Amino acid sequence: MRYLHNTPLWFDESVYAVDIINRSITDFIHPSSEFLQVQALGFYIYEKFAVNIFGTSEYAFRLAPFLFSIISLFLFYKIAKHFTNTRAACIALTLFAILDPLIYYSTELKPYSGDVVFTLLILSLATYKGEELNVQRIFMLTVVGAIVILLSNPSVFVLGGVWAGLLLSCLKRREWAKCRGLLIVSIIWALIFLAVYFTYYRIMIVAMSEHVSLEKAFEMEQFIMPFPPRSLVDVKWLIDFFFDTFLFQDSIMYVKRVTLSGLMAFAFLVGSVSMFLDKREKFYILLFPILLTLLAAAMHQYPFKGRQILFLVPMFLIIISEGAEYIRSRINEKSVIIGAVFMGLLFIYPASWAAYHVKKPLIRSEIKQVLSYIKQNWQEGDFVYLHFFTQYEFEYYTQYHPAPYKFDKNEYVIGIGPRGWYDKWRRNKLPERYRNIDDQSRYDLIKEYMHDLDQMKGRKRVWILFGGDITMENFFLSHLDSIGKRHDSFGKAGLGMTYLYDLSLD
């Protein structure tokens, strides 16, 4: 349903869309001149194929994530049945199908839906029940490993975790032939990863480090794991972090609300104990990718948060469902009603939000409606001033969309942004007067904005266009009110707004 709603591309999506349209497949091996390229190489490649085949509509850009989400449903159920019993697998599949972040990222131009399906592909390798790893099997593992390393950044955690779980199982059973096969596979995977790292990832990391360190990036995402904890504040942070993990969501994307993440966390703990006692080898395969990702987070090399750990959701849900089924079966021995209430509480939060977003999908931009309004009310001599954060959305919908909102180049201007903006976005369009400036005070930035807006004095009708993230909106509007007269406005704050000003007044 969300795919059919076809919501407008918001800022992040429009950045990827413009870059994918303007570059060839072979260009993606190099850093983008437009923005800091941090996604897996395969993400740009399969999106480019979709655009070449199906065009440049929102449907085309979101097709791959949508297909990945459909495939993941079938893969997940098959894998869940391998790691737990049928009832627990049904619980896991239901949670997997209604979990809000999984639904949201299934129709967004981002790689996270792909990360989930590639995780499931790796886990499916662990369900193999053959007695030995022959040449054919090693070749298949090598190919799958190479594919997922190219297609998904966090796949290295899953490959490493699943490999460690399988190796531990083989060592315990003294299956030396399998151990040798796994060692061969790990060496080949490591060589493939090093090749991809030095030809692609290292270039991206160097390009990113010129702008911001990993430590600074984590601070910007409001994520720094205090490890080892050195105070009670650090301990409290880790406890909150544990429970927040089971929200499976980004705080920037969802409003603060009452949840039952504690129930999920409790089921996870119970499931962990249950699997450790009865299905230890399978438990290790599910747990080790989580632990490897946590280790990277503790070393400040990867954020263990929200969308960045969506690829771990299959492992979490299988363990949670194992625990939920164990709790339900024990409660049912005394009261079937209480057991039903427990299961209802487990499902009520994800089910309610899934149902709510079927009726009212999460929308992060209404730029199309705003552009339509401007076009419907356009008069001869009108002019558009774009807030700098709006330019990617504006470019996509005015130049590349199948039904573009046409504007001549002399009918709009892109407003200047802060000095730091051009380090990360539009890196090839740094204004000349910024070239010798490394930092910029708020006072200097305000002077830049005032100078930029004052250039439009004398124009009778100027449309001021804001996108989803309005930086210093109050300043822009107050200065415009001081130099002109506001005649009209349309849109919703945070989703897209336009204001019509007469700046011809003395």
Give the relative orientation of helices 176-196 and 155-173 as an angle to the nearest 10 degrees: 160
Cα–Cα distances (Å) from 426 to 19, 35, 280, 423, in that order, read 11, 6, 51, 8
Q: Is 497 helix (H, G, I), strand (E, B) or coil?
A: strand
Residue 68: strand pairing partners: none
pLDDT band for position 156 (50/70/90)? very high
| Range ranked top by mean pLDDT from 118-122, 230-234, 293-297 | 118-122
Residue 414: strand pairing partners: 386
Q: Look at residue 223 and tell me whether its pLDDT is greater than 70.
A: no
| Mean of pLDDT values over 445-460 | 93
pLDDT band for position 258 (50/70/90)? very low
pLDDT at 253: 46
Gap between the Cα atoms of 116 and 72, Å rounded:
7
Residue 425: strand pairing partners: 35
Give the residue among 50, 123, 92 at the shortest CA–CA distance from 320.
92
pLDDT at 18: 95
Q: Look at residue 256 and tell me whether its pLDDT is greater than 50.
A: no
pLDDT at 472: 74
Q: Look at residue 199 and tell me whether its pLDDT is greater than 90.
A: no
Cα 238 to chain center, whole Å? Answer: 23
pLDDT at 176: 83
- Residues 6 or more apart from 54 whose CB is under 8 A from it? 60, 63
Cα 237 to chain center, whole Å? Answer: 23
pLDDT at 255: 45
Q: Look at residue 214 and tell me whether its pLDDT is greater than 70.
A: no
Give the residue among 411, 432, 430, 433 at the shortest CA–CA distance from 420.
430
| Range ranked top by mean pLDDT from 184-198, 241-255, 400-414 | 400-414
pLDDT at 130: 54
Q: Look at residue 213 and tell me whether its pLDDT is greater than 70.
A: no
Q: Look at residue 247 and tell me whether its pLDDT is greater than 90.
A: no
pLDDT at 217: 55
pTM: 0.91
Q: Look at residue 35 and tell me whether its pLDDT is greater than 90.
A: no
| CB-count burial class (<10 Å; 0-12, 13-18, 19+) for 239 | exposed
Q: Which amino acid appears at position 301 of this protein?
A: Q
Q: Look at residue 203 and tell me whether its pLDDT is greater than 90.
A: no
Q: Look at residue 467 and tell me whether its pLDDT is greater than 60.
A: yes
Q: Look at residue 224 and tell me whether its pLDDT is greater than 60.
A: yes
Give all strands of the β-sheet with 485-492 in edge-to-edge order. Answer: 412-414, 383-386, 462-466, 496-502, 485-492
- Specify whether the backbone of 62 is left (phi greater than 0), alpha (psi in -120 to 50) or beta: alpha
At 239, give phi and psi (nearest 5°): -65, -45
Cα–Cα distances (Å) from 191 to 122, 145, 146, 188, 360, in that order, read 18, 11, 10, 5, 47
Gap between the Cα atoms of 321 and 312, Å rounded:
14
Q: Which of 8-22, 116-130, 250-264 has the least mean pLDDT?
A: 250-264
314 or 237: which leads in pLDDT = 314
pLDDT at 47: 96
| Range ranked top by mean pLDDT from 111-120, 159-168, 467-476 | 111-120
Q: Look at residue 269 and tell me whether its pLDDT is greater than 90.
A: yes
Q: What is the mean pLDDT of the chain?
A: 87
DSSP state of 399: I
Q: Look at residue 222 and tell me whether its pLDDT is greater than 60.
A: no
Q: Alpha helices, DSSP H only, in 301-441?
A: 313-332, 336-359, 367-376, 391-395, 421-424
Q: Look at residue 342 and tell me whether its pLDDT is greater than 60.
A: yes
pLDDT band for position 221 (50/70/90)? low
Gap between the Cα atoms of 170 and 98, Å rounded:
36
Q: Is 491 helix (H, G, I), strand (E, B) or coil?
A: strand
- Residues 6 or more apart from 40 whose CB is under 8 A from it? 111, 150, 151, 152, 153
| Mean of pLDDT values over 7-27 | 93
At 106, give phi and psi (nearest 5°): -75, -15
Gap between the Cα atoms of 298 and 454, Å rounded:
49
pLDDT band for position 250 (50/70/90)? low
| CB-count burial class (<10 Å; 0-12, 13-18, 19+) for 423 | middle
pLDDT at 375: 95
In the block, tokens 């639904």 appear at: 103
382 in Cβ contact with 411 (< 8 Å) = yes
pLDDT at 474: 83
pLDDT at 257: 47
Report the percent of the chain where pLDDT is more than 70: 92
| Mean of pLDDT values over 29-48 | 87
In the block, tokens 């029940």 appear at: 129
- Residues 6 or more apart from 319 whose CB is under 8 A from it? 268, 271, 272, 275, 283, 286, 287
Q: Which of 186-190, 241-245, 271-275, 291-295 has the least mean pLDDT?
A: 241-245
Q: Is 426 helix (H, G, I), strand (E, B) or coil?
A: coil
469 or 76: which leads in pLDDT = 76
